[in-house]
Amino acid sequence: MKTIKNENTAAYYFHQGTSDAAYLYLGCHMEEGEEGFLYTFRTWAPNARAVSLVSDKTGWEEGLPFSRITERGIWECCLSSKDSLEGMPYKFRILSPTGVSMKGDPYAFYSKGGSDGASIVVHNSRFVWEDEAFLSERKKRAADKGGLFASSPLHIYELHLGSFMRKENGEYLSYRELADALASYVGYMGYTHVELLPVAEHPFDGSWGYQVCAFYAPTSRFGTPDDFRYFVNTLHKAGIGVIIDWVPAHFPKDAWGLYEFDGQPLYEYQGKDRMESRSWGTRFFDLGREEVQSFLVSNALYFMREFHIDGLRVDAVASMLYLDYDRLPGEWIPNVYGDHRNLEAIAFLQKLNERIDAAFPDVLMIAEESTAWGGVTHSVKDGGLGFDMKWNMGFANDFYRYLSTDPLFRRYHHTALNFPLMYAYAEHYILPISHDEVVHGKKSLLNKCFGNYEDKFATFRAAMMLQMSYPGKKMIFMGTEYGSFKEWDYQTGLEWFMLDFPMHRGLRDFVRALNELYLKTPALFELDFEQKGFSWVLADEGEKNAVVYRRFDKRGRELLAVISFSGAPQTLSFTLPNDKYAVVFDAHGARTAQEYKAENGVFTIHLSAYDAIFLVPKEENASVTL
């Protein structure tokens, strides 16, 4: 990693909010010479009266003093040593009008985390990357005229590193151990990407990584920064992309973190109307402050440059966009136009996505935005936020409620199946089965499904086929694929022993076969974001809890989906342009290669309870069969 040579320029860009590599200037940097090692430490603390470096080398009381080098609050100190200080823990002792605080380095590349939070000196990475072929293929996909991954298969396996798998004694697996296990399993299952819950250092396990204190430091729970590089490299060599959850909305109030860094609000908003989240107990980033913009934009690019990350899923975007988010009437102040839009946040997100697109046009930017905000995935030049994709949380929540409803009453909730197509092309959507929906009493996806043991499995298979064949890219949370009954618990590993039971092993094998079909069937992904890729056949069969629709690829090749969530057998009749279809996949594995022929122009298909089949016109059968 190179360091900044022109310090005046680096400081200027940082203060202007235009730096996209602030981590090369701030934080700890080493130069090696004939007489030993020179370490330069810099931090931003405009409200501090004094700053000092405390460590084993300098002492943990007064430490080595910094000098203030810019009017807007950058401080610097240099430490010479004949011996390498790599691995040395350190903190910044900050004296402010409100007292003394001991802070971790906001730009530290490695941190102890936990309640201590000491930063750790690391030298330049020694890791040798071997993912050139993967990155080259990534660039080819980004060059597609339809947009990044628009016409490519994208099926994400979301996971939490601390609970995907653990050792027999309950200890964490390391980044390297996890890499080898995941490359094998995810590759076998046919997912294109993994998405990691936040990997940046966070003190509290129970936050799942969403309350970050050291934004530039991959968590030390699983190893070193180079160990994390090994993780990404190993997945890339297996042909699997790596997306990470990124949290630019807020941060916790742990004493060693960003919270009131120099004795008063600095990284967070200063006004009470914007400062804090009532529900999370965290502080919101001041997205209008130039130095905070430099911090966050640089952080996003840092993970792309230093760790070859293939995408960021930006957490809690709605909390950034709305001034009244999580606030009662009278607790927020309207913007200059008199409404509830956070204009600084809008400008920041647009700046972020434009910078990412300029530097890494082949990296995905995904928004977790839970409202109907318009233009999340529209280009900035057209007034949008500039994201590549957005989670379709409305579809997911409605669909889960539908699956949990007694089939006798699903007729009253049929809009869960047909309404999503009313807005499917308003944004570039991902259809998520995420961690948020399998905790806190919400039940696992299998257990959400209404009915007895067998009914749940049958409903689950039909649900997987619907998700796979609706427009939009796909995502599933770890453990869902084998039908975990237990809710996700971040404190323990997944119950992989469930695969010893035939029903669960069979479900895992079903999902794998469905993934394989997806990857080789362009009709299921090439036109996800274009209306010509979808056509209803039966949209309003609410009485039968059924839908029938066609998906198309760019060459006009078709896949027909016939899906019923009825608890009783059903017969569906409809007309199609072609007169003969063959089954290429079905929910029960009993009809593959069966043919259906129209009689007097009408197809009649008999379905069992909780049934689904995929078909193709007979003459196209060879192009998509397994």
The residues assigned a catalytic role are: 315, 368
Nearest in space to 163 (alpha carbons), one of 504, 473, 438: 438
DSSP character at residue 602: B
DSSP codes joined into one string, 241-252: EEEEEE--SEE-
DSSP character at residue 476: E
To 10 degrees, the CA torsion angle through 595, 598, 603, 609?
Answer: -30
Q: Is 485 exposed, middle or buried (0-12, 13-18, 19+ CB in 10 A)?
A: middle
Q: How far is CA 602 from CA 425, 575, 594, 598, 617, in A?
A: 30, 5, 17, 5, 14
d(CA 582, CA 562) in angstroms, rounded, equals: 12
Q: Which residues pair with 44 in a beta bridge?
A: 74
- Which amino acid appears at position 203 of this protein? P
Q: Is 343 exposed, middle or buried (0-12, 13-18, 19+ CB in 10 A)?
A: middle
d(CA 480, CA 455) in angstroms, rounded, equals: 16
Q: Is 41 exposed, middle or buried (0-12, 13-18, 19+ CB in 10 A)?
A: buried
Tokens for 172, please give them. Answer: 């964490």
Helix, strand, or coil (residue 52): strand
Q: Are 215 and 268 in contact (CB under 8 A)?
A: no
Q: Is 608 exposed, middle or buried (0-12, 13-18, 19+ CB in 10 A)?
A: middle
Cα–Cα–Cα angle for 223, 228, 234, rounded to 5 degrees = 125
Q: How far is CA 590 from CA 354, 540, 585, 612, 613, in A?
A: 50, 27, 9, 11, 10
Nearest in space to 193 (alpha carbons), one of 61, 328, 341, 364: 364
Tokens for 398, please give them. Answer: 């409605």
